Every structure is written in structure tokens, then in C-alpha cells.
Amino acid sequence: MKEILALSSALLLLLGSPGSAEAQRCGFDEGDQGWYSEGGRLSWQRFGGDPGGFLQAEPSGGDHSYRSPRSWSGDWSSRVGGQLSYRDRLVAADEPMNEGGMISIHASDGTVLSTSTPPPERFWTVREVVLNGTNFGVSEPEFRRAMRSVAQIRISYAGTGKRSIVGLDEVAIVPPSGLYLASSFDDGDGGWRPEGDASFSWMEEGGKGGGFLVGRDLGDGSTWRFSSPRSWSGDWTPYIGGVLSFDLKMIDSRKGGPYEAEMVVIVGTDGSEVSVSPSSPYYSEEMPAAIWTHRRLPLTASAFGATEEAFGRVMRSVDRISIRGEYSDRSDAEGIDNVIVSLPVKSDIVSTFDLGDEGWRAGKDATLSWREEGGNPGGFLLGEDQGSGQTWYYVSPASWSGDWTDYIGGTLRFDLVEIDSGNGSPTFGDVVRIYGRDGSYLSWSGDPPGGSWTRRQVPLVPSSFKEMGGSFEAVMRAVSEVWIRGEYSNMRDVGGLDNVVVTLGPDE
């Protein structure tokens, strides 16, 4: 287990910044906010926190823990690589607390991820842990799998057999910045920099859709590269197992020949690096063609010829990524476009709603609420029409967005029920919309559900959908949201959604 370090002032600033829209925080200034204690007597204190109110718990003899409210449960995929922080203080004790505490993340399947904390001090102390597998003693795939369905977090303290009161304040979860890393070069160079003997210029047209970046060799003999913007530096743990993709085009080779050099290099802030070298099975010794050539590289240790430990160390603190621009042994010019770092697709995407709404929200005129019972089985999502005349939908959480190409050939399935039709007549139309990032979408239509739970299954293949503004492949490469129709009556109606599952396609 890893000792928790003090929280940096940068994180505190981030909690109040415009970029922290997805940050979650409980400051306890107005009450307990749904938190409760197990093994201790919990009370809310209006004053004395850091600042404002805080919680305190006096154990009843043994170990005790603070436990998060139900509203904190759900899909935490977008928080992998982010930070969990809080402040604690030993308010009163008959003797010092020498034993440390514990942070544990409890998944809905029974998995428990834990990391240790130092003993509380007599003064408010800020604690912080980065949400990754290393800090919780498991592999990154195991960690990501558990984070898909979090039931609760617990902050625990060991009992001493003596009277002790521990205070808790300012519990916060901050997702990592820039979970969607992409440079389309449609509006400028995106902050990309030349590395080596090259000069860059941005071209407004001629890319693989819009603008692109062109690099021109200055001829001193070294291999030049496209280097990522400074805003891309940080913890890339969430991307382990994901994909780096980009488009290249040879503009002028000066009739030179190909030669060997690292294709992609990822450099850590400590100067360590991993690369796709000529010994990698993903290395291409061919020069880019005179037309746009698409390349995809898995962000795995094996692809970069490194051990899991070395690869993980670099990915935890990335300074920059550089992509080879020079492929000719003479002064050449190459273009690059559509550099995208995609989150990994390793398992089915699932929302069972057994522990909460899992971040789903209403599209158009409806309100959504979570129901603990009455689903198929367990909990479900209840949608209630607000009666403005718009067709309303259930809309997937932000964590569902990304590259869905691995799901092509799989299935989208879900359960629907019409609870109250308002004595109206049935309405028909598209039941599923899968939106791309540019607003185009794929549409699938089906019959209205009945008064009992009805399962729908949609094969994720081109023939299942109507293409509305974009191709099936283009939308699936950059999915932003899934909309599932909730309204099936021309009157004010009520419906339910349960067990939304997206399954992986067959292995190629």
C-alpha cells in the first residue's frame, strides 16, 4: 500500500476552476450531505472545519469509517488518473493514534481496492491519492474494471480501545484534465512544436478533413519530429491499453530513401522514455504515401518494447509524445493530421442502475430519477415526461464517449417499460441515436415497449442504422453520446430504463 501525500495547492485551485465541471466535492458547510459512519457516532459540526462545517465521528470501541452517500456511486471511468482528496484531524483522544487509516473503493461486484493513509494529526491535514492501479495495489485493467461500477468509498480509522474523535472535511474527487486528447488542426497548430531540425506551418486546407500541420526539414541530418503541446503533459494512466492514432502524408521526399528511426517516443517528466523502435511489431519502415495514411498504435508495454513497470512509470507522468516526421534520408516535408489518444476499450460497457443513476441524464423535456426497486431486477431509471411536446430520451454519461471501433459487430441491448401512457396513442420513431462528436448520428427504430419490461437488442453493424450526417465508421470512431427514446405516447407519459449493455465485437 502507498502512503498518501499532501495535496498540492494546484489541486485546491482546480476545484474552483472552470475546467473542473466534473469535480465532485463535499465541504459539509450545510450538513452531512448524505455521508454516514459505520462503527462510530457521527455528528455534524457547524464550525471548526477547514473552513466552515465538518463531520466528526467518535468510535464505539473498534474500527470506524466514513462512508460516501449513494449519490457518489456509479461509473467512475472518467476519474481514473484523477485525484481523491480530503482533510482529517484528530479532534480529541485519550492517547495519540499511531496507526494509519485506509481509503477503500468498493465496486458493485464486491471488489475492494484499498490504500493506506497516515494517522490523523491534531491539526487539519490534507490527504491526496491519485486514482490508479499502482496506488491501490492492482493492475491497471483490474483498476479500470472496478471503477466502471463504484458502489461506495470509505475512509477508515483503526480503533485504539480508547476515546478518539476524528474529523473529516473537504472530500473531493477531481477527474484528470484532458481525458479526450485530440488535435485536428482545423483551427491552428494546436500548440504542437518541432523537435529537431524542422520548421512548422499550419495549412488551413488540404488535411484529411480541414486543416493540417506541415513540417519541413532544415537539413542538418538529424531526425525531426512532431512534438505534442505542453497541455498534453500529465498522468496518462487512463490511456494505458488505449490507442494512439494519426494521419501522415508525404509532401516531398526529395527522392530520398527510407531509413530506420523510432516511430513514436513517449517521454516522462523524469527524462525516461519508451518508444516504438524498429524491433517493435508495430514499427513501419515504409515512408508515408503521397496520400493521407492512417496509423494506429496500441498504448501497451509490448508495442513500445518496454516492461510493464517501465511503461507505467512513463505513462504516470508524461512530459510529451513525439511522432516521427522525417522518413526520407534527404531534406523532406511531411504533413500530420488528426492525432488522437483514445481511452482503452477492454470490456463491455454496462449500466445496471442497481446503485444509482450512473451519470445518465435526460434529453429534452423529461426528469429522471433513480428507483432502488422495480427494475429488471433491482434498481432502474425512471423517466417522467414534462409535457412540452418534445420527444424525450435517456442520455448516456460522458464516460461512455470515445472510440467504439472495438464494439463494431457487438450488440447494444437494454430493457424498457412503459409505466403510464397517459391514455395516449402510441408514437413511433427512432429508439436509439448514437451521436458522433460532430453532431452526426446513427438512428435505429423499433416498436414501443409494453407495460412490462421489454428487451431490445441492436446489432452494432452498418445495416442496423440510418446514417444521419456521417458514416457508420466515422461515428463509431468518435462516439459522444447514446440517446435511448423514453417517450412512446402522444400524452404525458412515464417510462423506465434498465440494464443498458454495449458488448464488444468479435475478435478480428
DSSP code string of 258-291: B----SEEEEETTS-EEEE-TTSTT---SPPPSS
Q: What is the pLDDT of residues 283-306, one digit of tens each?
A: 876 778 888 888 888 888 888 989
Average confidence (pLDDT) over 486-498: 92
Supply the pLDDT for residue 56: 93
Report how far Cα 209 is from the mean position of its chain's Cα atoms.
26
Mean pLDDT over each residue of the chain, to the nearest integer = 85
Alpha-carbon distance of 284 to 294, in angstroms, equals: 12
- The SS3 of residue 331 is coil
| 309: Cβ contacts below 8 Å, ≥ 6 apart | none
Q: Residue-wise over 472-508: b if at least 16 C-beta within 10 A, else e?
A: bebbbbbbbbbbbbbbbbeebbbbbbbbbbbbbbeee
- At residue 148, the pLDDT reads 79
Compare 393 and 21 and report the one with higher pLDDT.
393
CA dihedral 342, 347, 349, 350 (to 10 degrees): -150
Answer with the residue of higher pLDDT: 463 or 51. 463
Tell me which fold the domain 349-502 belongs to.
Jelly Rolls (2.60.120)
The mean per-residue pLDDT over the stretch 200-205 comes to 94
Burial class (CB in 10 A: 0-12, 13-18, 19+), 74: buried
Distance CA 105, CA 308 (A): 24
Cell 499550419: give the residue.
202
Q: Are 34 and 70 within 8 A, CB to CB?
A: yes
Residue carrying C-alpha cell 456509479: 74
Domain 9-174 sits in CATH at 2.60.120.260
406, containing H or E segment: none
pLDDT at 92 over 80: yes
Provide the CB-side half-sphere exposure for 287 (13 A, CA): 22
C-alpha of 36 from chain center? 28
- Torsion of Cα atoms, 213 then 216 then 217 then 218, to 10°: -120
| Residues facing 417 on adjacent strands | 496
Residue 9, pLDDT above cutoff 50: no
Residues near 433 by Cβ (< 8 Å), separated by ≥ 6? 393, 441, 442, 443, 444, 468, 482, 483
| Three-class DSSP category at 190 | coil
pLDDT digits (tens, 9 = 90+) for 253-276: 878 888 889 999 999 999 999 999
CA dihedral 112, 115, 119, 123 (to 10 degrees): -100
pLDDT at 315: 92
CB neighbourhood size of 317 (10 A)? 15
Compute CA distances 325 → 170, 182, 249, 339, whole Å.
47, 18, 10, 13
pTM: 0.44
pLDDT band at 395 (very low <50, low <70, confident <90, very high): very high
pLDDT of residue 285: 67
Which amino acid belongs to residue 409? G
The domain limits of the chain are 9-174, 181-342, 349-502
Q: Which residues of 20-35 are buried (b: 16+ CB within 10 A; e: fewer)?
A: bebbbebbbeeebbeb
Nearest-angstrom CA–CA distance, 450 and 206 = 52
pLDDT at residue 265, rounded to an integer: 97
What number of CA atoms fall less than 13 Å from residue 507's CA on the CB side? 2
Angle at 393 between CA 388 and CA 394, to 5 degrees: 135
Q: What's the pLDDT at 507? A: 55
Grid cell of 307 as nine digits? 516492461
How many residues in the chain? 508
Has domain 181-342 been given CATH number 2.60.120.260? yes
**CA distances (Å), origin 452, targets 64, 371, 376, 382, 446:** 43, 16, 10, 14, 16
pLDDT in the model for residue 12: 33
CB 89 within 8 A of CB 167: yes
Distances, alpha carbon 318 to alpha carbons 137, 259, 267, 313, 409, in Å: 21, 27, 6, 9, 34
* 18-44 per-position pLDDT tens digit: 233 356 889 999 999 999 998 888 999
pLDDT at 161 (0 to 100): 56
Q: In this predicted model, what pLDDT tens digit does every residue of 305-332 receive, in sequence order? A: 898 889 989 998 899 999 999 988 888 8
CB atoms within 10 A of CB 281: 8
